[in-house]
Structure 1
């Protein structure tokens, strides 16, 4: 009798143990990309789970403007998800330095990315990589092809042609020449200054010289883009000073404006909202025949919470994110976010293909303020927002803006003192 009871108890224990081991592990992803929720739920997660039985994934985004604060509070409380979507450079480096992100350098999957792609999520000396690169965005201008055809306008390649096109659109009066406001400030810097600027400071050459202290923000190549932005004001339509970012998006997609200073991240939304054919053109050259530079900005990666209870499963997911399968799904489901893995991805969206084609014609760089130069106070990235908006509105001269930014940077950044 005792032997039967013991055997039954052992069988029950074995059954319980095997059931426990068979339970799915659920990984939770933190992200600011709340507009990508359907993409993750309908395409990315099902593709992963189909090839990785036993691992479930939940995508739990926050609002973009709240993400940093929400994530930091969760990390401090020990309640953050297993996987952390990473902004590029200093924001994620701060999380790594605080012990919140795990070092992923020993993952074989990191070999699927170039040094340039990995640099956005590495320590300054490159000794540790803490996020798997996912995608970059490219800057340029999106335009209404119907409007250009109606008015007989050729796609501009130089600044002279660009302003001539805007003049023609303004003179006709059917369309606002260009949809952008200055109310939110960041777009004046992101789609304005850091869109056209690389052609002035020669991309990585100028950006790295600024970090090294070999160039200053008062130098001509850093001041001149503000003078060019000042020339945009007459083409932005009445009331542009109070126009928000969503306002500008709506003005363009409703067909009221002919040109939109853009990042490629707009493509997916614009495709669903605009009922006209769109095209894209590169930031205009200062002079015909100049070498072209584009802002090809490493934008999004994904890392592992250093305190996750499921490190093996989290690394399995990260290795899959580094795979050609993920790159193909992500690059085509979210056109305008360009995968960073070494394996080429065949893009289907014509507008995304247009943006991506510039990589073969121009030198790529990242936004000038994102690495190292915005770690102090005043924060150069945020200061550039205000400066770019002021340049467009004409409230300060380009030279005064350059001096203000230089003085701010020199007040805390040793190589610029």
Structure 2
């Protein structure tokens, strides 16, 4: 009898200790994010996939309004109340958090070898020696077009600038469609969809971008002026009143079937899919002449880092290793067509337009927007000035040469390349 009681007590004690151990291991990681539009994707796809393979680790995705994120996150980090995992904006905002000691160093974390140096640029120190966020996704620039319009007018997808302008001339002569949907009122649209879209083919992507940072090239050099010379010719194809046309106006013009071509960022794909009643296709920025190497703006958009003061660093590291995996890459990219994985493992996209965009990585060299790293830290801000001058060139109020001179003069006013 006594032996039976002893067994029961021992069994009870072992069950109690096991239950205590299980609850002690059950850790919840909180994720801070500005992407409040993809809450359902996290809840329905990403979190269940991770938790299924990692019992004992729970994820709590806590997004906030994009416009409030930077200030709110800084306040949380300063007060010690921020979550374990931090969704990282690209470049200076995240670099500043790392310099202040808020983001952990992930340089040697498992999985970081799955990303190229270009992919890691947005979340690395200026010298590239340390990386502090796992690259999650990028957006790619190019052109989305109305396939029905191209078929009706018997237009082939253009590969060179000559073919591109021949297509625009044919669309304009027919008169059924505005050749291209883009306005200059919001300024950034002209720079982002225009200059940064076609420019890499002229300044040779990373080669030119890094040379500009080093001071070996200037914005007044031919490779930097040439994209503006091309943009100046766009004016004749943007339709009446493009100077007063906003970004939403351009989106509507294209999705309503009134324009044949839309200079695009890949983030448009999901929205256009729900709004357009015609078949869509995409093509990369046309090269100057056949046989030229093509370059694409494959711009780093979002990453994930760890709060340096997280109470659960081992579990956070495990999650970030999963974010670095091919499984996460496939789930995330297909849930958000147009936001492409930066993982070296190619992701097959279910959406045909998204697959077309991402296929350009196999034949074109990737780069990021030329103004985003280092060159927009001073006053005047080169990114904002590029918005203004891109609009001015298309509007015809500045020549390409004058625009380039203004940009270089502004940069010279505060930026001294490290020698």
Question: Pairwise CA RMSD of aligned residues?
Answer: 2.5
More deviation in 350-359 or 213-222? 350-359
| Equivalent in the alignment of 1:340 | 342
| Equivalent in the alignment of 1:253 | 255
More deviation in 112-121 or 293-302? 112-121
Deviation at 1:254, TM superposition (A): 2.0
Task: Output the CA distance in 2 between the equivalents of 1:339 and 1:53.
Answer: 26
Where structure 1 has 5 or more consecutive residues not aligned to the other structure, the ranges are 1-6
More deviation in 54-63 or 224-233? 54-63
Partner SS for 2:111: helix
| 1:45-64 matches, cutoff 5 A | 45-64=47-66
Distance 1:83 1:247, change over 3 A: farther
| Equivalent in the alignment of 2:297 | 295
Deviation at 1:302, TM superposition (A): 0.7
Distance 1:57 1:408, change over 3 A: same
Q: Does 1:310 align with 2:347?
A: no
| Equivalent in the alignment of 2:133 | 131
Partner SS for 1:230: helix
Distance 1:287 1:111, change over 3 A: closer
| Equivalent in the alignment of 1:110 | 112
Q: Does 1:141 align with 2:143?
A: yes
Spell out, residue by residue over 1:327-382, the C-alpha distance to the aligned partner (whole angstroms, 9 max, x if none): 11112111222212222322222112211221222222111111111122222112
1:409–1:416 CA contact under 8 A, matched in 2:
no
Task: Output the CA distance in 2 between the equivalents of 1:273 and 1:53.
Answer: 41
Partner SS for 1:414: coil
| 1:402-417 matches, cutoff 5 A | 402-415=404-417
1:26–1:57 CA contact under 8 A, matched in 2:
yes
Spell out, residue by residue over 1:291-324, the C-alpha distance to the aligned partner (whole angstroms, 9 max, x if none): 2111122222110112223222222211110111
Deviation at 1:79, TM superposition (A): 3.1
Spell out, residue by residue over 1:181-233, the C-alpha distance to the aligned partner (whole angstroms, 9 max, x if none): 22222221111101000111111111111111111111121122122222222
2:118–2:367 CA contact under 8 A, matched in 1:
no
Q: Does 1:92 align with 2:78?
A: no
Partner SS for 1:345: coil
More deviation in 294-303 or 119-128? 119-128
1:230–1:392 CA contact under 8 A, matched in 2:
yes
Q: Does 1:189 align with 2:211?
A: no
Partner SS for 2:137: strand
More deviation in 23-32 or 102-111? 23-32
Pick aligned residue for 2:283 from 271, 274, 281 = 281
Task: Output the CA distance in 1 between the equivalents of 2:233 and 2:81.
Answer: 49
Deviation at 1:19, TM superposition (A): 7.7
Pick aligned residue for 1:372 from 340, 363, 374 = 374
More deviation in 164-173 or 361-370? 164-173
